[in-house]
Amino acid sequence: MRRTRLFFTGLLLACTSLTMFTGAAIAAGDDGDGDDGAKKAPTEAGTSFRTATSITQEQKATASASTGDYLYWSFPADSGQRPTVKATVDLPDAQTRHSGQTWRIDVYDGLRRRQACTYGTQARTVAADAARVDLACTLRTVRAWSEPWANDPLPGTYYVRLTVTGLADSDLGLPVSTSVEAVSEEVGGAAAVDGSLSTPLVPGSTGAADDHDWASGWWTSRWLWTGAGAVLAALAGIGGYALTRGTGRPTRVPPAV
């Protein structure tokens, strides 16, 4: 009976600890949530890295431009995210064009290093009678830390550049309508590494991590599984001890005759 009480006491303590740890983990993961999604989507684009229009993820930005312009937007991406940038170009009336066109999107990190697309149509050539161009670029998973010589995606600002790279000179300057959106798949602890940046790569930042409410900081879901494993190991130890220990009373040995 005593062993049973000890076992269930250990079980209750383990479950309580796991519940408290999970609650703290959820709270830590929610610290970066804000009302960015409620902000009005931008209706213009920048013309360089320095004038790039800032957008949030899952916010579709639009802009009217002339064929041949370089259009720039920027968005934040945190560790554990796998961003995908989508762009659409609505072309001028086919009767005003003289040839096909090739459009392209490129994505750069906060250090202005071009990031490779793992999949997606980064560049597309369309015929002279096409009405629109759809482009997409999926980056590698953003890492919390990397070697200085590596070109891995790191937390911070990412820049999107959209432009036409091939067309007849007579089609330069024709009006187009564009839209850009960045979305991410949350990879989570599966992509976590042992290390982190002191602050996200955000040009012009003061260096304080608190300035970036979208950044998750030290937390990844790997901590949850580590904590759960520790609790289960403790529970197994308590249960094994309770089931294998003696009754606690030494057996009386009869006196020798």
Q: What is the 3-state secondary structure (H, E, C) of 160-218?
A: EEEEEEECCHHHCCCEEEEEEEEEEEECHHHHCCCCCCCCCECCCCCCCHHHCCCCCCC
Same domain, 22 and 48: no
Closest C-alpha to 111, from 245, 187, 13, 202? 202
Percent of the chain whose pLDDT exceeds 90: 48
Same domain, 52 and 173: yes
Is 142's pLDDT higher than 80?
A: yes
Same domain, 137 and 11: no
Dump the DSSP string for 42-97.
P---BSSSTTPEE--TT--EEEEEETT--EEEEEEE-TTEEEEEEEEEEPPPGGG-
Same domain, 17 and 56: no
Rounded Cα distance between 232 and 226, Å, is 10
Place 87 in a pLDDT band, splitting at 50, 70 and 90: very high
Rounded Cα distance between 227 and 218, Å, is 15
Closest C-alpha to 89, from 106, 76, 71? 71
Tokens linked to 85:
């940038």
Is 246's pLDDT higher than 60?
A: no
Is 57's pLDDT higher than 90?
A: yes
Place 174 in a pLDDT band, splitting at 50, 70 and 90: very high
Q: How many domains does the chain have?
A: 2
Is 70's pLDDT higher than 80?
A: yes
Range of the domain at 231: 2-26+222-244
- Residue 85, beta-bridge partner list: 137, 182
Same domain, 145 and 50: yes
Average pLDDT, the chain: 79
Closest C-alpha to 47, from 159, 175, 202? 159
Place 37 in a pLDDT band, splitting at 50, 70 and 90: very low
Same domain, 10 and 88: no
pLDDT (mean) for 91-106: 93
Same domain, 73 and 165: yes
Same domain, 54 and 114: yes
pLDDT at position 51 is 96
Residue 8: CA count within 13 A, CB half-sphere: 4
SS3 253: coil
pLDDT at position 2 is 54
Backbone φ and ψ for 225, nearest 5 degrees, come out as -70, -35
Look at residue 117 and tell me if it is in a domain. yes
